[in-house]
Structure 1
Amino acid sequence: MSSTKNSLFFPNLNGVRFIAAFWVIIHHIEQFKDKFGFANHIFYTRFIRMIGPLSVFLFFVLSGFLITSLLFVEKERTNTIDIKSFYMRRVLRIWPLYFLTVILGLFVLPQIPFLDIPDETASIGIDFTEKIILYVLILPNVVTGVFKHIPYLSQNWSIGVEEQFYYFWPWVIRQTKPKRLLVVMVFFLVTIYIVRSLTVLYMPEVGLWKYLNEFIKSLRLTCMILGAIGAYFTYYHLESKLVKLIFHRYFQIGLYALLLGMLIIGVYLPGVNQEVYAFIFTLILMNLAKNPDNILNLENPVFDYLGKITYGMYMYHTIAVVIGVKISMAYNQSNWVSYPITYVLTIIISAISYEFFEKPFLTLKDKFTTVKSGK
């Protein structure tokens, strides 16, 4: 980590963002091959089914780690946290692209015949007003839960979860003394896990209950809090024996070997799957961001730039996926043509969006920034 008076930079995190986006796109390419009746796809292999959700869990862990680290620094330097500025930063970073994709997904893309998705595009108009209201209220996770697949917008569910984490987390950090912070974090972790588990087991899925049911089930706040706990240890206990153990080279090797083995075998742990993988991701992020003896280097100009445009890659990629898969089907269902088309289109669209649409909002966001993240 490097730090100046007004900035905080963690190495390798842009690389992590890109890798997570890379795996999400693979998952969706194979998923859309299945949707379009593509003869050659591998969507139902355990590995492909796992990497999509796990990549989103990784995004959540990364958000929890980074946001909490920034809040720690701001609180230490200013003796408080400017809540209003925090929310302005989140609004300017997240809302413009979020609402742009909502407008495109609901009003523009369904009018383009080439982008039609069987059994999904035609159903957009069902309960249309209800969907609009939920999207405007930043509840895309409820839309996806209740109405299932919404063409070109289903990925937005995770944006809602991140926003819901931001509603309360800066208040937790501001109001809690550092010596009590770990206990408070564990309390939220356990409480949220119990509430979500009870919802899955006992809450009805009919009537108005289904909205609350889907809202609670969609929350991945445990992943974000685990990332926050990683930030706590690397900020307040960097020299502790526990962190030094986590930073040991042999521990890192074992960690990567464990994750690789679990992915190859397809390990799924009912009830605690997201927490177990999020815990492993937290340990990996602690090493990548703060360990001077980290064994994996993701710092390079390509990853750095692609990491910067990852938000756009995540939000736009399903458009590129549909185009890539349809072109592949036109060429005798070649299994791999869709991959280069999808990735190239995703990067081009995301780069244009970043340079000409997102940057003005990011420039405005800097006016509300006490501690800037990045080089």
Structure 2
Amino acid sequence: MADKLAHASVLNPRLSTSLSQKKIPSLDGLRAVAVLLVICHHLHVPFFPEGRGVLTFFVLSGFLITWMMLKESERTGDVSIRNFYIRRVLRIFPAFYVFLIVSLAARWLTVAWPNRSLLYDYLSAFFYTINYRLALTPHIAHTAQHTWALSVEEQFYLLWPCVFVAFHKKLRQLTNVLVAAIILINIYRMVLYFEFHARERWLTYSFDTRADHILIGCLLAVLLKRGVGTSFWNRITDHTWYSLGPFSLTIASIAISFHRGLAYRFSVGFALDPLLTAILLVQVIALGHSRLWGWLNWKLMVYLGKISYGMFLYHMLANRLVIVLFGMHSLWFRVPAVIAMSALFGTCSYYLIEIRFLRLKTKFERETPQKPTAASLRPNRPYPITSRPLPRELEVRVR
């Protein structure tokens, strides 16, 4: 019985090995899938669900950020909030602000200088508050509108490190805080929709109605680190075909959302879909070597994942340029052209801007040595201290 309990408390080798790597396999491929879902949705490709790619980014972001902080806490015994914010600024800000400049310049050259309303949109994007501008005011589509998702993440980054530092040595309490927050946000969102008839745009864009999707990723990281539900994680990663369960349920939820509309989306859909994404995330991490999910680690998918931030930033601008410069209005010609141009923009963004700051970012990822313990300060002795007499040859040597 004890052996079974001990076995149940340990993650299976495939999952534990993948999680222990500095670069967790399959996650770049998932980023690539997420950004392609975002592009296809914004191009109005039939049957591509609204918000599916952004939801995947939210869960993935929460998981990765928390997992990195957990590893830092394990290595060093503490988490540097200062270094966290510096790393986030270096990762997000440079490429984003270059994108805003390029986007404004492109609109000026191809259409006209933006009117006052559009300038306010860009200004709110600059300060990472465009999600609330879109939530509060009617809007028209433009090449910076999609950055509302980035605003939600940046608002999350302002709060989460402080909460994590307060609880990083009390992971059980942190788990309770996360579960309570996720439940309360779900209740709050349903009350807003069913009782106060909140507008769709508020429920879609505001941080207070979407934060639970990021928190589910955070909760996943904490549960895996604590070893909670290990038997469940081991069970669902035992066989490749088990991963078809969450995937099929996700497709079913999307289909129901098309049929039932906003009532399902803002109640069951927004609660269920990120949970299914989190479960599938664990499965693809463990099963990235399999035939079913091995494609997530193909060189092309890994590369698209690497440049996915730039692709996300520029895909709406790419769509505008494909229409204006090449006159491509047919969807089936426009989709591959926009993906290709987004990849080109993403490549330029990564190699001309992002990589320079990523190298600088590593300076704030150095390990902090643990405080010396009494054992570590004890002087090394050539021979163990013992009450037994020394061997004759050593006794002679000592004399």
Please name the residue that 2:213 is paired with. Answer: 223
* Structure 1 segments of 4+ aligned residues over 3 angstroms from their partners: 1-4, 127-133, 194-206, 211-219, 260-268, 290-295, 325-330
**Distance change >3 Å, CA 316–CA 351, structure 1 → 2:** same
* Aligned equivalent of 1:358, options 326, 351, 354: 354
Asked whether 1:13 is paired with 2:27, we answer yes
Counterpart amino acid of residue 88 in structure 2: R
Retained in 1: the 8 A contact 2:69–2:79?
yes
Pair 1:212–1:18, CA change in 2 (3 A) = closer
2:144 aligned with 1:153: yes
What is the alpha-carbon distance in structure 2 between the residues aligned to residue 300 and residue 245 of structure 1? 26
Structure 1's 292 and 244: CA in aligned 2 closer, same or farther, altered over 3 A?
Answer: farther
Deviations 1:283-334 (A, max 9, x none): 011112245886522112111111010000000011111233456756xx54
Q: How many residues align?
A: 340
> Is 2:133 the partner of 1:175?
no
Structure 2: how far apart are the matches of 1:242 and 1:15?
24
Identical columns (%) = 26
The answer (yes or no) to whether the contact 2:18–2:286 under 8 Å persists in 1 is no
AA aligned to 2:345 is I
Structure 2: distance between partners of 1:216 and 1:290: 33
Kindly indicate whether structure 1 or structure 2 has the higher relative contact order, using CA contacts under 8 Å at least 6 residues apart. 1
Aligned-residue offset at 1:137: 2.5
Q: Within 2, Cα distance between the matches of 1:317 and 1:132?
A: 16
- The 1:104/1:196 distance shift into structure 2, 3 A limit, reads farther
The answer to whether the Cα contact below 8 Å between 1:15 and 1:299 also exists between their aligned partners in 2 is: yes
CA distance in 1, matches of 2:107, 2:176: 48
Q: 1:111 aligns with which of 108, 113, 130?
A: 108
Q: How does 1:168-317 map to 2 (within 5 A)?
A: 168-176=159-167, 177-200=170-193, 216=206, 219-237=209-227, 240-249=230-239, 250-263=241-254, 266=258, 269-270=264-265, 271-290=267-286, 295-297=292-294, 298-317=296-315
SS at match of 2:157: helix
Displacement of 1:258 = 2.3
Radius of gyration: which is bigger?
Answer: 2
Q: Distance in 2 between the 1:213 and 1:246 partners?
A: 32
Deviation at 1:148, TM superposition (A): 2.2
Give the TM-score of the pair, scaled to structure 1: 0.80
- Report the alpha carbon displacement of residue 108 of structure 1 after superposing the two structures with TM: 1.2
Q: Which amino acid aligns with 1:244?
A: N
> Separation in 2 of the partners of 1:205 and 1:178?
35
User: TM-score, normalised to structure 2's length?
Assistant: 0.76
Paired residue secondary structure (1:8): coil
Distance 1:320 1:184, change over 3 A: same
- How far apart are the structure 2 equivalents of 1:90 and 1:133? 20
**Structure 1 alignment gaps of length 5 or more:** 31-42
Give, in whole Å, the separation in 1 of the partners of 2:250 and 2:196.
33
Report the more deviating stretch, 345-354 or 218-227: 218-227
Q: Which amino acid aligns with 2:41?
A: H
Q: Give the alignment partner of residue 71 of structure 1, picking from 69, 82, 99.
A: 69
Answer yes or no: is the 8 Å Cα contact 1:17–1:59 preserved in 2. yes
Q: Distance in 2 between matches of 1:307 and 1:175?
A: 32
Structure 2 residue ranges without an equivalent (≥5):
1-16, 368-399
Whether 2:87 is the aligned partner of 1:89: answer yes
Q: Distance in 2 between matches of 1:340 and 1:215?
A: 28
Q: CA, structure 1 residues 12+3, in 2 after alignment: closer, same or farther (shift >3 Å)?
A: closer
The offset of 1:349, in angstroms, is 1.3
One-letter code aligned to 1:257: S
- Is the Cα contact below 8 Å between 2:18 and 2:285 reproduced in 1? no
Query: Contact conserved, 1:72 with 1:173, CA < 8 A, in 2?
Result: no
Q: Superposition RMSD on alpha carbons, in Å?
A: 3.1
CA distance in 2: counterparts of 1:263 and 1:199, whole angstroms: 22
Task: Give 1:255 shift.
Answer: 1.9
